[in-house]
Amino acid sequence: MYGRRGQVSLEFMLVFAILVVMLVYSINNISFSNNSASQQTLIIQISLEEKNFANIISNTISQVYAQGPGSKATAYVKLTYLKDAGMLRKAYGLNSPYIFVTYDRGVNITVINSTTPVLNFNGPDKNVFWSPSLYPAVLYNNSNIWDATFGSSILINGTTVYGLRIPPSDLNSTMRVIVEWNPDSGEIWSFNSTVGYLYININPGG
Q: Using one digit for the tens of pLDDT, what is the confidence trace for 50-109?
A: 999 999 999 999 999 999 999 999 999 999 999 999 999 999 988 999 999 999 999 999
The total number of structural domains that make up the chain: 1
Would 7 be classed as within a structural domain?
Answer: no
Alpha-helical (H) ranges within 31-132 are 37-67, 85-92
pLDDT of residue 123: 83
Would 206 be classed as within a structural domain?
Answer: no
Would 19 be classed as within a structural domain?
Answer: no
Give the pTM.
Answer: 0.81
Would 21 be classed as within a structural domain?
Answer: no
Positions in the chain whose pLDDT score sits under 70: 1-37, 206
DSSP code, position 148: T
pLDDT of residue 1: 42
pLDDT of residue 34: 54
Residue 160 phi/psi, 5° resolution?
-80, 125
Query: Residue 87: which domain range?
Result: 31-201
For residue 113, give the nearest of 126, 127, 125 by alpha carbon: 127
Q: In what order do the strands lie in the sheet with 106-112?
A: 128-132, 106-112, 98-103, 159-166, 151-156
